[in-house]
Structure 1
Amino acid sequence: MVRLVAVLIIFIPGVIAAIGIKLMRDTLFDDFHPIFFHTGIQFTVGLILFLAGLAFLGGFIIHRDRKNQKVKKSKLKENR
């Protein structure tokens, strides 16, 4: 059950990032969706969705690796 929840946590931001890529691609190929008022808005929303999904996935991986002690601490944190 726990693994299923973890897969869903990873799957949903991946889908959001994929939707962002699709919106940006559609803007470049002049496939305009009527929900957006301008192609620039469509591209910006796609970029935001892509970056948000990518940031969540990256943060999840970093958090998991730090929890499992697979990432070394940086020298900047040791000097403080």
Structure 2
Amino acid sequence: MARLIAFIILLIPALIAGAGIKFMRDTLYGILNSPFPWLWFQFLIGLIFSIIGIGFFAGYLLHRDRKRGRVAPRFQKKDETKEIKQ
């Protein structure tokens, strides 16, 4: 059950990113979708959706890899307690 919930949590940002890519593609072909009054606004919303969706997925992967210790040293979290003591 937990894997299904995790899959759904990752599916929602993927769908948002896909919708954003579709809005940007439609703008390039001059197709105006119904909720948007202008093409530039449709492209802007598509860009925002894409950034949010891809960013959420990338953040999830970074968090998971940090937890397992599979990231490069520059992506590891700094230990704040050591910095305060020094």
Superposition TM-score, scaled by structure 1 size: 0.89
Partner of 1:27: 27
Q: Give the number of the structure with larger relative contact order, counting CA–CA contacts within 8 Å between residues 6 or more apart.
A: 1
Question: Could you list the runs of 5+ residues in structure 1 that have no partner in the other structure?
Answer: none
Partner of 1:50: 50
AA partner of residue 62 (structure 2): I
Cα displacement (A) at 1:73: 2.9
Question: Could you list the runs of 5+ residues in structure 2 that have no partner in the other structure?
Answer: none
Superposition TM-score, scaled by structure 2 size: 0.83
- Aligned residue pair count: 80
SS at match of 1:45: helix
Runs of 4+ in structure 1 deviating by more than 6 angstroms, as ranges, are none
Cα displacement (A) at 1:48: 0.2
Identity %: 42
Cα displacement (A) at 1:27: 0.5
Structure number with greater Rg is 2
